[in-house]
Structure 1
């Protein structure tokens, strides 16, 4: 499976808004299987963005996906890409230059763009 940064962002936003644990089974649809959600949440946990549980049934298929909470790193990453304006511009820059890239690069690009927008607003 290939990492989908839009899906990562959506999961982070939903987890932040949740009162407690977030069961991702409610996001299963024609575009997002439970296996796909589990793959992304497991990768997000590996990256230190979330504390989560991904259950597997006999045969290896994903049986449950729960995000318990965002970590400090997850909150920082989300803060860098939360704004729709920043997110769309970062995605366009990635698409037009490097294609896929590391989460750390996406975060740094989001932070740099946010800082640039704030400086422009302040006139500095």
Structure 2
């Protein structure tokens, strides 16, 4: 399954808007099926953008996640992509330059654009 950056943003926004502590069972995001959401919860957990509890096989492979909240890094990344104009620009740059980059490069791009906006 491919990573969908719009779904990444929606999941992070979902947890930011959540007012209660506790896990999210069967989380739903409009426009995405359960498998897409589950996959993205796992990779966001692996990227340390959300905190949760992993459900693993005997060999340690994560097959599900019980998400709780955003991590500090999740808040930081979301702050840098929250602005819809900046988010559109990030996606345009990614598409123009080949369409696929690592999360660390996307984070650097989001940070640079946020810095440019702040210090201009």
Q: Is TM (by shorter chain) over 0.5?
A: yes
- Local SS of the residue matching 1:92: helix
Greater helix fraction, Structure 1 or Structure 2: 1
- Local SS of the residue matching 2:32: coil
Shift of 1:67: 2.4
* Equivalent residues, number: 113
User: C-alpha offsets along residues 60-100 of structure 1, whole Å, 9 cap, x if unaligned?
Assistant: xx8x8642011111111111111111110000000001311
Q: Give the structure-1-normalised TM-score.
A: 0.78
Counterpart residue number, 1:25 = 26
Closer, same or farther in 2 for the Cα pair 1:24/1:83, shift >3 Å? Answer: farther
**Is residue 78 from structure 1 mapped to residue 68 from structure 2 by the alignment?**
no
Shift of 1:22: 5.9
Q: Distance in 1 between matches of 2:26 and 2:95?
A: 30
Provide the aligned C-alpha RMSD in A: 2.3
Unaligned runs of 5+ in 1: 57-61
Counterpart residue number, 2:88 = 88
Question: Higher Cα Rg: structure 1 or 2?
Answer: 1
Counterpart residue number, 2:119 = 119
